[in-house]
Structure 1
């Protein structure tokens, strides 16, 4: 009892302080609970948002892959035959212009390869049409969702006219808005991106009709509008090489390589194909030392990534072997060729 009495007196004297302290402790506990609950809720929302974005991306990819295109094999064959005939007639008209003859010959070879394997050609067309079908969604704000839907429906039937008209309109509007959006750099950049995307998709549509001359013009425009876009640069480089415009091809491929090195590093597997393309180009130009340097760089990447039996690696080794054979290094050429399948 003697012990409890001082304690009771102390409590009576400091009752308000004790109540205040208990109140503070209780309030702090409640506040901490609210904070923990809020943080947990935010984390859950972020997680759900990320999962939702992944699901939506996967759904879009699935929907795009599920799109069926009604392509008529006979129509594809007829288009190829017509293009081949046009190129042959053009070649006859240009007998004395050997530069043009070479270009026409390159495109005739492309046409003949596609005629020789129509199932592969049809798969190639479906792949292009899927990309175009997905890319048209970008233009809903510019041309309206109804017009985009109509163009996509026509594309599924193998009819490209509505898509061409829509993309030309979008490209024209984008170019006009770029010129008039000087007060807003963000708007100008967006419109330029849309104009470039429209040009690229028009190039893809031209390739579905095997019209390589028109496709080249659109790819060059897309690359000029968006000079850091690897897809546009590679597309322009591929057809400029077929045209025999090797200087331009070299500039485009070197831009691609510079961007890839900056983004990926000099040893990334993604560089191998670009280096192979540069090797082929320099070999064609007779710049053998440069070609070999590009081939060796690409081979180092292939070996570092442990895919010496990959199809791309095989093509690379065959190209390098052809270079060695041409410069008289026959034993080395045989050794490299033996490594390819």
Structure 2
């Protein structure tokens, strides 16, 4: 499909070509009344614009996508677009706005039981808190993400674990341990277990 060809061109850095494919996809989706396809393509156009640093354009596309997803009752898609809007706001340093979008995404993901999506959003909230120097909050969010991805045996485990290692290095072992035990004691025990396991492998 044009959307897939667009994603491939985008991944290879052929942005103008990607945009043409997405626009062709959007045109067809509108002609045949495929609302789901239309929303997905607006989302892809948003990701493309964000990749290129065209932030206002990206926001318009995401908002167009969100509007359709709400109309058709696509809760999972709605949550994904809130996440994208959060990432966009974070890229621009609009941290409070980013937090609101991530929280909107998290609320929906909990409602629909999307554990993988929930973990991804906790990780995003952790990254956002870290960007703002709110390290205590960052530890709490990342440990919540760690607990979920560990039990899901999800590939995101290494990303979340890496974020926690960076926080431990930033704060020092003692301070990290104190804050982690305060907020997510079970998550901290899991982090320690993974740390010991990685040390025995290396």
- Give the TM-score range, shorter chain: 0.5 to 0.7
> Relative to 1, partners in 2 of residues 1:296 and 1:205: Cα closer, same or farther, differing over 3 Å?
closer
CA RMSD of aligned residues (A): 4.3
Contact 2:130 2:138 in 1 (8 A): yes
**Secondary structure of the equivalent of 2:13?**
helix
1:84-116 superposed Cα distances (whole Å, 9 cap, x missing partner): xxxxxxxxxxxxxxxxxxxxxxxxxxxxxxxxx
Contact 1:275 1:294 in 2 (8 A): yes
**Secondary structure of the equivalent of 1:270?**
helix
- Structure 2: tracts of 5 or more residues without a match: 178-187
Q: How many positions carry a matched residue from both structures?
A: 176
CA distance in 1, matches of 2:141, 2:42: 31
Whichever of the two has the greater Rg, that structure is: 1
Task: Provide the TM-score with structure 1 as the length reference.
Answer: 0.41
Per the TM alignment, residue 230 of structure 1 is displaced from its structure 2 partner at its CA by 2.2
> Relative to 1, partners in 2 of residues 1:196 and 1:67: Cα closer, same or farther, differing over 3 Å?
closer
1:110-144 superposed Cα distances (whole Å, 9 cap, x missing partner): xxxxxxxxx7435x8888776655444321168xx
Q: Tell me what 1:206 maps to.
A: 49
The 5-angstrom pairing of residues 299-314 of structure 1 reads 299-307=146-154, 310=155, 312-314=156-158
Task: Provide the TM-score with structure 2 as the length reference.
Answer: 0.64
CA distance in 1, matches of 2:48, 2:19: 8
The 5-angstrom pairing of residues 181-200 of structure 1 reads 200=43
CA distance in 2, matches of 1:317, 1:284: 17
Using CA pairs under 8 Å that are at least 6 residues apart, name the structure with larger relative contact order, 1 or 2. Answer: 2
> Relative to 1, partners in 2 of residues 1:207 and 1:126: Cα closer, same or farther, differing over 3 Å?
farther
Query: 2:112 pairs with 263, 266, 276, which one?
Result: 263
Q: Tell me what 2:160 maps to.
A: 316
Decide which moves more: 250-259 or 270-279.
270-279
Q: Tell me what 2:96 maps to.
A: 247
Contact 2:42 2:65 in 1 (8 A): no
